[in-house]
Amino acid sequence: HIERANPAGQAEVSVPPELSTLVSECALLIQREVAALEKLVDEFSQFARFPTARLVPADANAIVASALEVFGGRLDGINVRTELASAIPAIKADPELLRRVVVNLIDNAAEALEGSKAREMRIETRASADGETVEISVADSGHGISPEDKDKLFLPHFSTKERGTGLGLAIAARIIDEHGGTLRVEDNSPVGAKFVIVLPVAEVTAV
C-alpha cells in the first residue's frame, strides 16, 4: 500500500484498486452465502413445523396469477405462455400454501432454463373430463429430468441442483398431500420437464 501525509500530518493509506475490487467481491459472496443460509434455515423450519392447510373453495386461475405476480420482471428473456381454462370449478385449497407451491415450481422451471437455447415456460389449468379434479401444470423446455431422478425427486434432501437443500419439492409434495391431491413430474414435449398438480374440486353446497 501507499502512505501519504494529509494536512494534519497523519498518514493516509491509499488502497490499490485490485484490493478494493477483491473486498467488494468478498462482500457480495458473504451476502449470497448469508442469504443461502437464511433460505436453508427457513426450509428446514417449514419442514419441521409444517402448517396445517386450511382448505376453502378457491379459484385455481387466481392462485396462478398471484404466483406469477411474485416474479415481476424476473422472467424476462423467457417466453411464458399461460393457458388458463375458463369456467373451471373451484378447488379445495389453502390459497396461500398453494400459491407457494406454484411459485416454487415456476422458480424451478426458470432455473432449469438457464443455459437453454429455447427458453419457454408453459403454465396451464384445466378441469378433468369427469369434473372431479383440476390440474395446474408448469412445463419448461430445459434439459429435463432423468428417469432415475424422477423416483427420488420429492424425497427430502434429494436435489438435482449443485447447490440447495432439496427440501423445496418435498415441501411442495407435502402441501399438495395435505390438500388431498397429488404432485407428479413427467416429460415435457418436445423437451424439458412438466410438473402437474391435481387437486379435488370443492364440494358444492346446496342452497
Q: Tell me, what's the pLDDT at 93?
A: 96
122 or 42, which is more confident? 122
Q: Which of 91-95, 114-118, 153-157, 197-201 has the lowest mean pLDDT?
A: 153-157
Is a pLDDT exceeding 80 seen at residue 43? no
> What mean pLDDT do residues 153-181 have?
73
pLDDT per residue over 52-84, tens digit each? 789 999 999 999 999 999 888 889 899 999 999
Q: Residue 206's pLDDT is what?
A: 46
Q: What is the mean pLDDT of residues 153-171?
A: 63
Determine the pLDDT at residue 165: 40
C-alpha to C-alpha distance for 24 and 14, rounded to whole angstroms: 16
Lowest-pLDDT choice from 31-45, 50-64, 142-156, 172-186: 31-45
Q: What is the pLDDT of residue 49?
A: 59
Q: Is the pTM of this model over 0.75?
A: no
Mind giving me the DSSP string for 59-111? -HHHHHHHHHHTTTTTTTTSEEEEEEPTTPPPEEE-HHHHHHHHHHHHHHHHH
Listed residue (41, 95, 25) closest to 67, CA to CA: 95
* Contact (CB, 8 A) for 125 and 93: no
pLDDT at 47: 52
Averaged confidence pLDDT in the chain: 82
Q: Quick: pLDDT tens for 95-138.
A: 998 998 999 999 999 999 988 888 999 999 999 999 999 999 99
CB 84 within 8 A of CB 137: no
